[in-house]
Amino acid sequence: MGKRVLCCYGIDLDAVSGWLNTITGTPQNPTDLSRGIFGATVGTNRVLTLLSKYNIHATWFVPAHTAESFPGQIHKIVDAGHEIGLHGYTHEFVSSLSVEQQRDVLGKSMEVLKGFTGGKGVKGWTAPAWKTGREVVRVLEEFGVEYDHSFMHHDSQPYYLPDPAQTDYIETNVEKPASHWMKPMTALKPSSIVEIPANWHLDDWPPFQLSLSQPSTHGYVDTHVIERLWKEQFEYLYRECPEDGGSFVFPISIHPQVSGKPQVLLMHERLIEWINGHEGVEWVTFERVCREFKEGRLEGVVVEGGV
């Protein structure tokens, strides 16, 4: 048995919702909203064409605002055989929400997305901007979510996500004596949620999206630089993966308003064709990774830490 490589595209269809999430209700620049509309329409159509060209089924993480505002596009995605997952309502940062608000957003989002899946439950979730909170895992479990794509305990293996609420740690506060914070964190305790790891170094937004309000974005990075960055990650993981039955996952996070641009689409074509030149590569949905891990067909890892 040779090595297996499960490659996944996680596509965040933020559309207008990501720009509407001003947190305080501050009016948004209509030009930025138009960028979201481009992503929901032109960008989505182009990404669907890319995936069809290479016979790839992907996971689209769809804010419920996007689904309700662009229903025809979501039907296109589902009809093409792709999975849809949860991504907030208006791309709300979980770290800014109360637990009650988290439940309200998740409940409404699940209800909306079920309308596009024939009533079937939606199994996966990714936190908008990967900003999470200590209570988030328990809320996901309450709603029957099976997998998450927001944490970074590992970069290429699935695992059972530690529940942040069950680990104690103390942030440094220099207004208090040093003895207050000089204590180790307590042991990590796994939840029932499967984690398919997030990775900022496999995300198209920071290098390719110009946002004057987000210092972490750039917008003008040469696509060949990012292509090399992504290839080198794959190259190392593939080299180190055992030949006899080894496996790893390679989740790539993209956004249609970014990867729907011509220069980035060309980069994806080059990357896909290069990856496909390796033995053992499969392009799968996140749900497939979750299912195979829970069934024991992917070994994954156990995340440990704390005392």
Secondary structure (DSSP) of 98-138:
-HHHHHHHHHHHHHHHHTTTTTPPP-EE--GGG---TTHHH
Query: Residue 119 has what pLDDT?
Result: 87
Query: Residue 1 has what pLDDT?
Result: 77
Query: Residue 282 has what pLDDT?
Result: 98
pLDDT digits (tens, 9 = 90+) for 135-170: 999 999 999 999 999 999 999 999 999 999 999 999
Query: Residue 215 has what pLDDT?
Result: 83
Query: Residue 300 has what pLDDT?
Result: 98
Q: Indicate yes or no: pTM above 0.85.
A: yes
> Worst-scoring range by mean pLDDT, 92-96, 105-109, 123-127, 212-216?
212-216
Mean pLDDT score, 269-288: 98
Query: Residue 199 has what pLDDT?
Result: 98
H helix or E strand, kind and range, residue 265: helix 262-275
The pairing of beta strand 59-62 with beta strand 4-12: parallel
Query: Residue 213 has what pLDDT?
Result: 79
3-state secondary structure of 12: strand
Name the DSSP letter for residue 40: I
Superfamily holding 4-294: Glycoside hydrolase/deacetylase (3.20.20.370)
Query: Residue 273 has what pLDDT?
Result: 98
Query: Residue 177 has what pLDDT?
Result: 97
Phi, psi of 168 (to 5 degrees): -100, 135
What whole-number percentage of the chain has pLDDT above 90? 94
Phi, psi of 102 (to 5 degrees): -60, -45
pLDDT digits (tens, 9 = 90+) for 183-220: 999 999 999 999 999 999 999 999 999 987 778 889 99
Taking the C-alpha atoms of residue 237 and residue 249, their distance in angstroms, rounded to an integer, is 9
Q: Is pLDDT at 49 greater than 90 in this prediction?
A: yes
Mean pLDDT score, 109-118: 96
- The residues with which 12 forms a beta bridge, in sequence order, are 61
Confidence band of 265 (pLDDT split at 50, 70, 90) = very high
- List the one residue out of 200, 293, 188 whose CA is nearest residue 249: 293
For the CA atoms of 186, 152, 195, 145, the dihedral, rounded to the nearest 10 degrees, stands at 90
Mean pLDDT score, 287-293: 98
What is the token pair recorded at 239?
A: 């080299």
Name the DSSP letter for residue 9: E
Mean pLDDT score, 5-26: 95
Number of other CB atoms surrounding residue 304 within 10 Å: 10
Query: Residue 217 has what pLDDT?
Result: 86
Q: Is 42 exposed, middle or buried (0-12, 13-18, 19+ CB in 10 A)?
A: middle
Number of other CB atoms surrounding residue 298 within 10 Å: 20
Domain borders along the chain are 4-294
- List the one residue out of 45, 21, 46 whose CA is nearest residue 33: 21
Taking the C-alpha atoms of residue 27 and residue 4, their distance in angstroms, rounded to an integer, is 48
Given a contact cutoff of 8 angstroms between Cβ atoms, the answer to whether 166 and 193 are in contact is no
